[in-house]
Amino acid sequence: MAESPVLRRYPRLLAAALLTSALALGACGSDDSAEFSPADEELTSEPVAQAPALCRKKLEARITGSVESPAATELSGLVRSRTQRDVMWTHNDSGDRPRVLAISPRGRVLAEVAVSGADSRDWEDIAAGRDTLLIGDIGDNDAERESIVVYRIDEPRIAGGANTVKTTARAGRIDLRYPDGAHDAEALLRDPDSGAIVIVEKRMDGRSGVYVADAPKPGRPATMRRAGRLFLGRGELVTAGDVSADGTTIALRTYHHAFVWRRAEGEPVADALLRKPCQVQAEMNEGQTETIALTADGRAFYSVPEGEVPAIRRYAPRG
């Protein structure tokens, strides 16, 4: 399909045109997924005035504290509570027992929650609803799992106090399959409107599939649909993701960069991800990091790497 100057100028029209063209070729065995690249010079950014706040200025990283706990050995996944002030939820990667930790921005472990009814094969990310947490057992380094699991628990209420609270939460198990074979993934997102689960694949070539479970329910195994594919750049392995509590901002991170999308009211998260993102201007050489937690308004985010006594950093625009 020949590209017109109008389509080149307006990325959303271009996206629609590319998708229409791909669908038309579907009968010939073509890939029917839209693919967008932030490095593609044919796609133009949104005007600066419309860019997400995280992309308007260079970001400054400030260490807010460290997680000084033997329970925090290999943190992978981080999200801010939607209803509890200064509470963030995290968990360890493979090798730990099934549990989540509530930590403060300063790094104090507020609670240790054993997740009953769950296994911990390869927990990689965590997402939040208003009163729930979703834990993604979605890692698959060798791309051999027949299915993956997302656990849903009611978010425990954290009482103030000097001691770490130890409690238990019962998990509902959501078994999911990919429609096109096994994939490794480390980014789990929850659509704030529909409650759909969105999983973004982790690939060395940077061409990450976006998969959606539209109406996930515990006890009902489901096959996800492939919504499309995004391209953040070769070597940009997606290691975490989040949607801000107000629903306006989506972020994915790789080991050294973060990419951000503005989400329109009511727009499916998967649809927004198929537009061109902006890349934040920040030095993010923290070590091996597989976490990103947006603030409620999407104007800043927290990050914590793997390792002993890991530092928590808050990234926000300078000034």
| Tens digits of residue pLDDT in 234-260 | 999 999 999 999 999 999 999 999 999
Contacts of 311 by beta carbon, 8 Å cutoff, 6+ apart: 63, 65, 66, 286, 304, 305
Q: How far is CA 67 from the centre of its chain?
A: 21
Report, as an integer, the average pLDDT of 121-147: 97
Residue 232 in this model has a pLDDT that exceeds 60: yes
From the CB of residue 28, how many other CB atoms can be counted at a distance below 10 Å?
Answer: 6
Its pTM surpasses 0.95: no
How far from each other are the two terminal CA atoms of the chain, in whole angstroms?
45
Closest by CA position to 150, among listed 187, 103, 180, 113: 187
Report, as an integer, the average pLDDT of 168-176: 98
Going by pLDDT thresholds of 50, 70 and 90, the confidence category of residue 182 is: very high
